Amino acid sequence: MSGHLAVVGLGPGDARYVTPEAEAALAAAQALYGYGPYLDRVPVRPRQSRHASDNREEATRAAAALRVAAAGARVAIVSGGDPGVFAMASAVCEEIEAGPDSWRTLEVAIVPGVTAMLAVAARIGAPLGQDFCALSLSDNLKPWDVIERRLDAAAGAGFVLALYNPISRARPWQLGAAIERLRRHLPATTPVVFGRAVGRPDEHVSVTTLAEADAADADMATLIIVGSRATRVVQRNGQAPLVYTPRAVAEVSA
Ligand code: SAH
Protein backbone atom coordinates (compact mmCIF):
# COMPACT_ATOMS: atom_id res chain seq x y z
CA MET A 1 0.00 0.00 0.00
CA SER A 2 1.32 3.43 -0.79
CA GLY A 3 0.20 6.21 1.50
CA HIS A 4 0.05 9.88 0.79
CA LEU A 5 0.72 12.89 2.99
CA ALA A 6 -0.48 16.40 2.10
CA VAL A 7 0.68 19.38 4.17
CA VAL A 8 -2.07 21.89 3.53
CA GLY A 9 -2.06 25.67 3.99
CA LEU A 10 -5.47 27.03 5.00
CA GLY A 11 -4.62 30.71 4.53
CA PRO A 12 -5.10 33.35 7.23
CA GLY A 13 -8.65 32.52 8.28
CA ASP A 14 -11.52 33.19 5.93
CA ALA A 15 -12.69 30.28 3.77
CA ARG A 16 -12.28 32.54 0.71
CA TYR A 17 -8.53 32.20 1.11
CA VAL A 18 -8.51 28.40 0.94
CA THR A 19 -7.25 27.52 -2.53
CA PRO A 20 -9.05 24.98 -4.74
CA GLU A 21 -5.94 22.76 -4.46
CA ALA A 22 -6.16 22.86 -0.64
CA GLU A 23 -9.91 22.10 -0.80
CA ALA A 24 -9.24 19.06 -2.97
CA ALA A 25 -6.46 17.78 -0.67
CA LEU A 26 -8.74 18.16 2.38
CA ALA A 27 -11.64 16.42 0.67
CA ALA A 28 -9.44 13.50 -0.39
CA ALA A 29 -7.96 12.85 3.07
CA GLN A 30 -8.98 9.89 5.22
CA ALA A 31 -7.30 11.37 8.30
CA LEU A 32 -6.75 15.01 9.24
CA TYR A 33 -4.08 16.19 11.67
CA GLY A 34 -3.48 19.68 13.02
CA TYR A 35 -3.51 22.26 15.78
CA GLY A 36 -7.09 22.32 17.14
CA PRO A 37 -8.12 25.86 16.05
CA TYR A 38 -6.85 25.23 12.50
CA LEU A 39 -8.63 21.88 12.31
CA ASP A 40 -11.83 23.64 13.44
CA ARG A 41 -11.75 25.63 10.18
CA VAL A 42 -12.05 22.48 8.10
CA PRO A 43 -15.63 21.30 7.45
CA VAL A 44 -16.44 17.90 8.99
CA ARG A 45 -16.74 15.17 6.38
CA PRO A 46 -18.03 11.63 6.88
CA ARG A 47 -15.47 8.78 6.91
CA GLN A 48 -12.65 11.16 7.80
CA SER A 49 -10.91 10.96 11.18
CA ARG A 50 -9.71 14.15 12.92
CA HIS A 51 -6.71 14.34 15.24
CA ALA A 52 -6.30 17.68 17.00
CA SER A 53 -3.12 18.42 18.94
CA ASP A 54 -1.54 21.31 20.79
CA ASN A 55 0.34 24.13 19.08
CA ARG A 56 3.73 23.04 20.39
CA GLU A 57 3.44 19.40 19.37
CA GLU A 58 4.55 19.86 15.78
CA ALA A 59 7.17 17.08 15.72
CA THR A 60 4.91 14.55 17.42
CA ARG A 61 2.02 15.47 15.10
CA ALA A 62 4.21 15.17 12.00
CA ALA A 63 5.50 11.76 13.13
CA ALA A 64 1.97 10.51 13.92
CA ALA A 65 0.72 11.60 10.48
CA LEU A 66 3.73 10.00 8.75
CA ARG A 67 3.15 6.70 10.57
CA VAL A 68 -0.47 6.59 9.43
CA ALA A 69 0.43 7.58 5.87
CA ALA A 70 3.20 4.95 5.79
CA ALA A 71 0.58 2.35 6.74
CA GLY A 72 -1.22 3.20 3.50
CA ALA A 73 -3.67 6.00 4.37
CA ARG A 74 -4.29 9.33 2.67
CA VAL A 75 -3.42 11.87 5.34
CA ALA A 76 -3.55 15.67 5.46
CA ILE A 77 -1.85 17.89 8.03
CA VAL A 78 -3.31 21.39 8.16
CA SER A 79 -1.42 24.58 8.81
CA GLY A 80 -2.54 28.20 9.09
CA GLY A 81 -1.39 30.50 6.28
CA ASP A 82 1.27 28.75 4.23
CA PRO A 83 2.60 25.43 5.57
CA GLY A 84 6.16 26.35 4.59
CA VAL A 85 6.26 29.63 6.57
CA PHE A 86 7.14 28.96 10.24
CA ALA A 87 4.84 25.95 10.12
CA MET A 88 4.30 22.24 9.57
CA ALA A 89 6.10 21.60 6.26
CA SER A 90 9.56 21.91 7.86
CA ALA A 91 8.48 19.75 10.80
CA VAL A 92 7.41 17.04 8.34
CA CYS A 93 10.71 17.28 6.42
CA GLU A 94 12.65 17.06 9.71
CA GLU A 95 10.80 13.90 10.68
CA ILE A 96 11.31 12.34 7.24
CA GLU A 97 15.03 13.08 7.40
CA ALA A 98 15.35 11.57 10.89
CA GLY A 99 12.79 8.78 10.49
CA PRO A 100 12.72 5.26 9.03
CA ASP A 101 13.51 4.65 5.34
CA SER A 102 9.88 3.79 4.64
CA TRP A 103 8.93 7.45 5.23
CA ARG A 104 11.19 8.47 2.33
CA THR A 105 9.17 6.47 -0.18
CA LEU A 106 5.92 8.25 0.73
CA GLU A 107 4.36 10.66 -1.67
CA VAL A 108 4.36 14.07 0.03
CA ALA A 109 2.53 17.13 -1.32
CA ILE A 110 3.05 20.56 0.18
CA VAL A 111 -0.02 22.63 -0.70
CA PRO A 112 0.71 26.36 -0.46
CA GLY A 113 -1.55 28.92 1.19
CA VAL A 114 -1.82 32.69 1.60
CA THR A 115 0.66 33.54 4.33
CA ALA A 116 -0.19 36.17 6.97
CA MET A 117 2.21 38.82 5.68
CA LEU A 118 0.58 38.79 2.24
CA ALA A 119 -2.92 39.02 3.72
CA VAL A 120 -1.93 41.94 6.00
CA ALA A 121 -0.03 43.72 3.22
CA ALA A 122 -3.00 43.43 0.88
CA ARG A 123 -5.29 45.08 3.45
CA ILE A 124 -3.17 48.21 3.68
CA GLY A 125 -1.59 48.85 0.27
CA ALA A 126 1.75 47.49 -0.90
CA PRO A 127 4.27 47.66 1.95
CA LEU A 128 6.12 44.60 0.57
CA GLY A 129 6.48 46.14 -2.90
CA GLN A 130 10.27 46.29 -2.61
CA ASP A 131 12.75 43.86 -1.04
CA PHE A 132 11.51 42.50 2.27
CA CYS A 133 12.20 39.70 4.68
CA ALA A 134 10.18 37.66 7.13
CA LEU A 135 11.36 36.99 10.67
CA SER A 136 9.81 35.01 13.48
CA LEU A 137 10.33 36.70 16.85
CA SER A 138 9.85 33.40 18.63
CA ASP A 139 12.92 32.36 20.56
CA ASN A 140 11.53 28.91 21.26
CA LEU A 141 13.61 27.37 18.49
CA LYS A 142 16.46 29.88 18.12
CA PRO A 143 18.47 32.01 20.53
CA TRP A 144 17.39 35.63 21.06
CA ASP A 145 20.79 37.02 20.04
CA VAL A 146 20.35 35.45 16.56
CA ILE A 147 17.03 37.30 16.26
CA GLU A 148 18.71 40.57 17.28
CA ARG A 149 21.47 40.09 14.72
CA ARG A 150 18.91 39.39 11.99
CA LEU A 151 16.86 42.46 12.95
CA ASP A 152 20.01 44.61 12.80
CA ALA A 153 21.11 43.16 9.47
CA ALA A 154 17.71 43.36 7.79
CA ALA A 155 16.79 46.85 8.98
CA GLY A 156 20.32 48.08 8.31
CA ALA A 157 20.21 46.75 4.74
CA GLY A 158 16.92 48.49 3.94
CA PHE A 159 14.57 45.50 3.95
CA VAL A 160 10.94 45.93 4.94
CA LEU A 161 10.32 43.48 7.81
CA ALA A 162 7.38 41.15 8.36
CA LEU A 163 7.43 40.01 11.98
CA TYR A 164 5.68 36.72 12.75
CA ASN A 165 5.08 35.32 16.26
CA PRO A 166 5.56 38.75 17.86
CA ILE A 167 4.36 37.95 21.37
CA SER A 168 2.73 35.30 23.52
CA ARG A 169 2.10 34.66 27.19
CA ALA A 170 5.37 32.75 27.38
CA ARG A 171 7.26 35.44 25.39
CA PRO A 172 6.02 38.78 26.76
CA TRP A 173 9.06 41.07 26.25
CA GLN A 174 10.48 40.09 22.86
CA LEU A 175 8.41 42.42 20.69
CA GLY A 176 9.19 45.46 22.86
CA ALA A 177 12.89 44.61 22.66
CA ALA A 178 12.68 44.18 18.87
CA ILE A 179 10.95 47.57 18.45
CA GLU A 180 13.65 49.21 20.61
CA ARG A 181 16.31 47.56 18.48
CA LEU A 182 14.76 48.72 15.20
CA ARG A 183 14.61 52.32 16.49
CA ARG A 184 18.44 52.31 16.37
CA HIS A 185 18.36 51.76 12.61
CA LEU A 186 15.26 53.49 11.32
CA PRO A 187 13.71 56.97 11.53
CA ALA A 188 10.97 57.60 14.13
CA THR A 189 8.51 58.23 11.30
CA THR A 190 8.96 54.76 9.71
CA PRO A 191 5.46 53.33 9.04
CA VAL A 192 4.51 50.28 11.11
CA VAL A 193 1.43 48.14 10.39
CA PHE A 194 -0.23 45.95 13.01
CA GLY A 195 -2.48 43.36 11.31
CA ARG A 196 -4.48 41.27 13.75
CA ALA A 197 -6.55 38.17 12.89
CA VAL A 198 -6.72 39.18 9.24
CA GLY A 199 -9.41 37.29 7.37
CA ARG A 200 -11.30 36.48 10.58
CA PRO A 201 -14.36 38.20 12.09
CA ASP A 202 -12.24 40.01 14.71
CA GLU A 203 -9.77 41.41 12.16
CA HIS A 204 -8.12 44.71 13.06
CA VAL A 205 -5.48 46.53 11.03
CA SER A 206 -3.82 49.75 12.18
CA VAL A 207 -0.99 51.98 11.00
CA THR A 208 1.40 53.78 13.30
CA THR A 209 5.04 54.91 13.33
CA LEU A 210 8.12 53.28 14.78
CA ALA A 211 8.22 55.99 17.47
CA GLU A 212 4.62 55.28 18.52
CA ALA A 213 4.57 51.51 18.00
CA ASP A 214 3.51 49.80 21.22
CA ALA A 215 4.08 46.09 21.84
CA ALA A 216 0.92 46.06 23.98
CA ASP A 217 -1.12 46.48 20.77
CA ALA A 218 -0.06 43.03 19.51
CA ASP A 219 -1.03 39.52 20.48
CA MET A 220 -0.16 36.12 19.05
CA ALA A 221 -2.64 36.59 16.17
CA THR A 222 -0.86 39.76 15.02
CA LEU A 223 1.59 40.18 12.18
CA ILE A 224 3.65 43.37 12.16
CA ILE A 225 5.13 45.00 9.08
CA VAL A 226 7.90 47.51 9.74
CA GLY A 227 8.63 49.69 6.73
CA SER A 228 12.03 50.67 5.37
CA ARG A 229 13.24 54.24 4.91
CA ALA A 230 11.51 54.17 1.53
CA THR A 231 8.04 53.11 2.78
CA ARG A 232 5.39 55.81 2.44
CA VAL A 233 1.89 56.55 3.72
CA VAL A 234 -0.62 58.12 1.32
CA GLN A 235 -3.42 59.89 3.20
CA ARG A 236 -6.77 59.85 1.38
CA ASN A 237 -10.01 61.69 1.95
CA GLY A 238 -12.73 59.32 3.07
CA GLN A 239 -10.53 56.27 2.51
CA ALA A 240 -8.04 54.45 4.72
CA PRO A 241 -4.41 55.48 4.15
CA LEU A 242 -2.30 53.44 1.73
CA VAL A 243 1.04 52.18 3.03
CA TYR A 244 3.40 51.26 0.24
CA THR A 245 7.05 50.83 -0.67
CA PRO A 246 7.89 52.23 -4.10
CA ARG A 247 9.33 49.88 -6.71
CA ALA A 248 12.39 51.98 -7.46
CA VAL A 249 15.28 52.18 -4.99
CA ALA A 250 17.06 55.53 -5.05
CA GLU A 251 20.03 54.99 -2.73
CA VAL A 252 21.99 52.01 -1.45
CA SER A 253 20.83 52.76 2.09
CA ALA A 254 17.15 53.18 1.16
N1 SAH B 1 2.17 29.48 8.63
C2 SAH B 1 1.59 30.74 9.09
C3 SAH B 1 2.45 31.40 10.16
C4 SAH B 1 2.57 30.61 11.44
S5 SAH B 1 3.42 31.50 12.68
C6 SAH B 1 1.41 31.67 7.88
O7 SAH B 1 1.94 31.38 6.80
O8 SAH B 1 0.73 32.70 8.03
C9 SAH B 1 2.05 32.22 13.54
C10 SAH B 1 2.07 33.74 13.35
O11 SAH B 1 1.54 34.07 12.07
C12 SAH B 1 1.22 34.53 14.32
O13 SAH B 1 1.89 34.76 15.56
C14 SAH B 1 1.03 35.83 13.55
O15 SAH B 1 2.20 36.61 13.60
C16 SAH B 1 0.88 35.31 12.11
N17 SAH B 1 -0.52 35.11 11.71
C18 SAH B 1 -1.11 33.94 11.42
N19 SAH B 1 -2.40 34.14 11.02
C20 SAH B 1 -2.60 35.48 11.05
C21 SAH B 1 -3.71 36.32 10.72
N22 SAH B 1 -4.87 35.81 10.30
N23 SAH B 1 -3.57 37.66 10.86
C24 SAH B 1 -2.40 38.18 11.27
N25 SAH B 1 -1.30 37.44 11.58
C26 SAH B 1 -1.41 36.10 11.48
Q: Tens digit of pLDDT for each residue in 113-127?
A: 999 999 999 999 999
Local confidence band at 2 (pLDDT 50, 70, 90 cut-offs):
confident
What percentage of the chain has pLDDT greater than the value 70? 98
Q: Which of 70, 218, 175, 253 is nearest to 62 (CA)?
A: 70
* pLDDT (0 to 100) of residue 1: 57
* pLDDT (0 to 100) of residue 73: 97
What is the C-alpha to C-alpha distance for residues 88 and 95, in angstroms, rounded to an integer? Answer: 11
What is the C-alpha to C-alpha distance for residues 123 and 212, in angstroms, rounded to an integer? Answer: 21
**Mutate-to-test residue for ligand 1 from 19, 86, 117, highest number of ligand atoms within 8 A of CB:** 86
Position 55 pLDDT exceeds 90: no
For residues 18-24, average pLDDT: 98
Mean pLDDT of the chain: 96
What is the C-alpha to C-alpha distance for residues 166 and 211, in angstroms, rounded to an integer? Answer: 17
What is the C-alpha to C-alpha distance for residues 59 and 89, in angstroms, rounded to an integer? Answer: 11
Query: Considering only CA atoms, which residue is closest to atom 9 of ligand 1?
Result: 165
Taking the centre of ligand 1 as the mean of its atom positions, its distance from the CA of residue 179, in whole angstroms, is 19
Tell me if 162 CB under 6 Å of ligand 1. no
Position 252 pLDDT exceeds 80: no
Measured at the CA of 148, the angle between CA 170 and CA 88, to 5 degrees, comes to 55
Q: Which atom of ligand 1 is nearest to the CA of 13?
A: 22
Taking the centre of ligand 1 as the mean of its atom positions, its distance from the CA of residue 119, in whole angstroms, is 10
For residues 192-210, average pLDDT: 97
**Mutate-to-test residue for ligand 1 from 38, 219, 222, 225, highest number of ligand atoms within 8 A of CB:** 222
* Confidence (pTM): 0.96
Position 87 pLDDT exceeds 60: yes
Tell me if 81 CB under 6 Å of ligand 1. yes
Are 156 and 181 within 8 A, CB to CB? Answer: no
Local confidence band at 250 (pLDDT 50, 70, 90 cut-offs):
confident
Tell me if 221 CB under 6 Å of ligand 1. yes
Position 251 pLDDT exceeds 80: no
Q: Which atom of ligand 1 is nearest to the CA of 199?
A: 22
Query: Considering only CA atoms, which residue is closest to atom 13 of ligand 1?
Result: 165
Position 54 pLDDT exceeds 90: no
What is the C-alpha to C-alpha distance for residues 252 and 212, in angstroms, rounded to an integer? Answer: 27
Tell me if 78 CB under 6 Å of ligand 1. no
Position 56 pLDDT exceeds 90: no
pLDDT digits (tens, 9 = 90+) for 137-169: 999 999 999 999 999 999 999 999 999 999 999
Taking the centre of ligand 1 as the mean of its atom positions, its distance from the CA of residue 116, in whole angstroms, is 5
Q: Which atom of ligand 1 is nearest to the CA of 168?
A: 13
Taking the centre of ligand 1 as the mean of its atom positions, its distance from the CA of residue 80, in whole angstroms, is 7
Tell me if 80 CB under 6 Å of ligand 1. yes
